[in-house]
Amino acid sequence: MKFFVDTADAQAIAQLAETGLVDGVTTNPSLVRKSGRDFLDVVGEIAGLVDGPVSAETVATDHETMLKEGRKLAGIADNIAVKVPLTVDGLRTCKALADDGVMVNVTLCFSANQALLAAKAGATFISPFVGRLDDIGQDGMGLIEDIRTIYDNYLFETQILVASVRHPVHVLDAARLGADVATLPPAVIWKLFDHPLTDKGLAAFLDDWAATGQSIL
Active site residues: 83
Instruction: Give 140 or 216: the residue with its C-beta nearer to ligand E4P.
Output: 140
> Rg of the chain's alpha carbons, rounded to an integer?
19
Is residue 7 at the binding interface for ligand E4P, with CB under 6 A as the rule? no
Q: Which of 9, 12, 25, 26 touches ligand E4P by CB under 6 A? A: 26
The least distance separating ligand E4P from the CB of residue 217, rounded to whole angstroms, comes to 43
Tell me, residue by residue from 101 to 120, as one string, x for binding to ligand E4P by CB under 6 A and - for no binding: ------x-------------
Q: What sign does the dihedral 118-78-152-23 (CA atoms) show?
A: negative
Is residue 129 at the binding interface for ligand E4P, with CB under 6 A as the rule? yes
Instruction: Give 174 or 206: the residue with its C-beta nearer to ligand E4P.
Output: 174
DSSP notation for 52-106:
S-EEEE----SHHHHHHHHHHHHTT-TTEEEEEESSHHHHHHHHHHHHTT-EEEE
CA nearest neighbour of 63 among 100, 93, 19: 93
For ligand E4P, the binding residues (CB under 6 A) are 6, 26, 28, 107, 127, 129, 131-132, 163-164, 183
